[in-house]
């Protein structure tokens, strides 16, 4: 009987001392990306999943475009933020990010693919980095997408 009582006490103490599964700093993952090739005039739709102990992930999403092309060119707005609409506190959920073609493309004047006839412009090859800030000012770690190719015409 004493052994059973000691085992039960140890289990109760173990459960009482376990850490919360959610942290104060938001945690994010990429749940889905609608495509890895954005057509001219197309969209890039990303769904991020988050967990946050306070459930106050309704400040902003920071997005950075990293151009991987070997030719260095002037780029359009490489870093930007999107406000997250205010919603009821929830320690877990999804954030939808819908970026139109003008937001997704990178090179201001994409270079011409040498030897192409008719003229073909070099696509933008990008990685998108995401971070989320909650109302308490806590910033998540930065996560990265896989390669995304944005087809270009002049």
The pLDDT score that the predictor gives to residue 55 is 77
* Helices (H) then strands (E): counts for the chain: 2, 9
Distances in whole angstroms, Cα of residue 107 to Cα of each of 20, 68, 86, 95, 150: 44, 11, 33, 27, 10
* Sign of CA pseudo-dihedral 93, 59, 89, 53: positive
pTM of the shown model: 0.81
Contacts of 71 (CB under 8 A, 6+ apart): 111, 122
The pLDDT score that the predictor gives to residue 25 is 87
CATH code, residues 21-150: 2.60.40.2550
Task: Give residue limits of the domains in the chain.
Answer: 21-150
Angle at 145 between CA 60 and CA 32, to 5 degrees: 80
Dihedral class, residue 55 (left if φ above 0, else alpha if ψ from -120 to 50, else beta): left
pLDDT tens over the chain, length 154 residues: 554 444 544 544 454 444 457 677 899 999 999 999 999 999 999 999 999 888 778 778 999 999 999 999 999 889 998 887 777 778 898 999 999 999 999 999 999 999 888 899 999 999 999 999 888 888 999 999 999 999 998 6
Distance in angstroms (rounded) separating the CA atoms of residues 107 and 78: 10
């Amino acid at each position: 009987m004493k052994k059973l009582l000691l085992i039960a006490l140890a289990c109760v103490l173990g459960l009482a001392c376990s850490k919360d599964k959610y942290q104060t700093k938001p945690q994010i993952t990429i749940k889905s990306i609608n495509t890895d090739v954005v057509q001219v005039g197309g969209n890039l739709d990303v769904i991020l999943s988050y967990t946050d102990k306070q459930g106050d992930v309704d400040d902003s999403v920071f997005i950075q475009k990293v151009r991987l092309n070997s030719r260095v060119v002037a780029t359009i707005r490489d870093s930007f933020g999107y406000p997250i609409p205010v919603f009821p506190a929830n320690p877990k959920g999804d954030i939808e990010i819908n970026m139109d073609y003008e937001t997704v493309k990178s090179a201001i004047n994409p270079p011409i693919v040498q030897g192409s006839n008719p003229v073909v412009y070099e696509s933008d090859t990008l990685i998108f980095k995401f971070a989320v800030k909650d109302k308490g000012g806590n910033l998540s770690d930065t996560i990265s997408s896989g390669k995304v190719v944005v087809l270009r015409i002049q």
